[in-house]
Structure 1
């Protein structure tokens, strides 16, 4: 079985010939041709590690469908282009640890490309194989845009709540969480982040002064050479319910869009993912639409 499915074909939906959409500019590619592009999309349809509500396995296809109809023009950065889709990772059966190991074989090849990897999840457990290849040859930090810290102990196997504990144990050099919610994290896990020199920036801080909040999160990652950005869509408020763990008090989409654009402008960016988008749990496609536009905003900030 091939490590990746056939590349996904994208099609614009507008009848206006000058209405350029992502569906018009995302090409099909494979690992051999991907170096021709600035960034490549990779789907990871898996939610076997979710602690609560499943549905994220349907995230990649739904995000693609929503993004197809989004126009490519950003008022400050201009149009986004230079994109290709490599298809989905073929997810094997087996334990979460087995799946992480198998997907790591694919992400090794993706990170070896000149193109920036953009992973469409899928659940948060796949952050481990998405980041792990970067740890081999550089100091690496992760900016976790998330309501939760996801540093639970691995007890009966990995879950969507353990990725950053696993990565710390594998040699991760820096960690910052931005968008964290009060009363969503155990004291022991907050202490673990502090003991490992991590940074926690709350959703309230983002609402008070977004630019200062992003600066504080990035300042906690000053010493690393490469930076990976992970967006768990549950960082949005519970009015965007298409995720495994929606809770009140989260970010607005407008805040998330500006946040990822600021992060994407960091020259150390080596990868991006959007995880935990669960279309079956959504309301009127609101979360999926926000997730797709988050990808668009990140790409506009990265390419600017």
Structure 2
């Protein structure tokens, strides 16, 4: 890694190798970034078919979160992600597992919190808040019922713990799904210090290691990053735009959410090592 790249990464407050909450994409010539999917399995399969035709040896792939929530094909979405991963890993020269990254989006963060509901301060309030924001679709996909959760809350924390345990067992009954969940990263960056990938946004005033939940909920400051940049990175790329405005390119940012799961398109962009778009797909 060059001194300039090392300095760019250090300026963000992120240890380049030791902080496993973050992924490092190494020796990138091209990186494919895939926007929020939101359970739109059909569009994801169509996108993967396009990517298979455009794949070049050495390509990296990063999925920018929100695989769950809202759409009706959540289980199928995870299965498709796992299927395409197996295809990529079999491509000669063989892709390294670290060259395929899955970020945690707000849907995955809510699902993680839902699976720990017994530790929430106000279980009922938090449950209703998450269900109203898309977690209801993920709950239904794994055979859960909000009515059972509410009944467990009325009974007490031990009952809530049993209910979340049943959900975890349901996840484990689907091959690869539990392992998929445990591999999410908060953000990712390229080892040349040029590109930073996030799910929704971040707080420009905080270092990467201090973002807390800003990666999922602080989308409102993304335009500010587009003007001033962040942490020495040439470009910050996000996969979820609450307004779902499609591919929006600014000097220091790139937003690619086309509204998959809400009737819109699923977008993927291919970036070179400097962050310039060299290819893109919308389905």
What range describes the TM-score normalised by the shorter chain of this pair?
0.3 to 0.5
TM-score norm. by structure 2 comes to 0.33
For CA contacts below 8 A with separation 6 or more, give which structure has more relative contact order: 2
TM-score norm. by structure 1 comes to 0.31
Which has the greater radius of gyration?
Answer: 2
